């Protein structure tokens, strides 16, 4: 679970639906459900090359206070996106 300082969006655009998490200074009611994965360092370059804007990798704070490298979204990604912060989980959003 992320720290409760993120807004969560279903990004606009055609093709595969993508989530975007944007850090805010405003405390939200809950954090966002996240998945923490391990990746071999040798694979990181090709993985980074495939991340489309407005997504990128950056530090994500977990509810424990630990920071991990994870997907974050530029603020511009929220402009035409659906705010799904209250749903709290990408998997839950996809089930709706």
- Reported confidence tier of residue 13, pLDDT bands at 50, 70, 90: confident
Kindly state the tokens that stand for 19.
């989530």
What would the pLDDT profile of 43-75 be if each residue is shown by its tens digit? 989 999 999 999 999 999 999 999 999 999 999
Residue 16 has pLDDT above 90, yes or no: no
Return the domain boundaries, the chain. 6-95
pLDDT of residue 15: 85
Q: How far is CA 53 from CA 38, 75, 87, 88, in A?
A: 22, 11, 23, 22
Res 55: pLDDT: 96
Say if residue 96's pLDDT is above 90. no
The encoded tokens of residue 26 equal 């405003």
Phi and psi (nearest 5°) for 63?
Answer: -60, -20
pLDDT tops 90 at residue 83: yes
**Predicted pLDDT at 90:** 97
CATH number assigned to the domain with residue range 6-95, chosen from the 4 options 2.70.98.20, 3.10.490.10, 3.40.50.300, 3.40.50.150: 3.10.490.10
pLDDT at 14 over 90: no
81, 9 in Cβ contact below 8 A? yes
């Amino acid at each position: 679970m992320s720290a409760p300082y993120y807004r969560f969006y279903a990004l606009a655009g055609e093709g595969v639906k993508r989530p975007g998490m944007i850090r805010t200074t405003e405390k939200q009611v809950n954090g966002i459900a996240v998945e923490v994965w391990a990746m071999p360092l040798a694979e990181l370059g090709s993985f980074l090359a495939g991340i489309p804007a407005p997504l990128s990798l950056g530090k994500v704070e977990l509810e424990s206070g630990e920071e991990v490298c994870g997907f974050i979204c530029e603020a511009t990604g929220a402009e035409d996106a659906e705010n799904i912060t209250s749903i709290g989980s990408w998997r839950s959003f996809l089930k709706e």
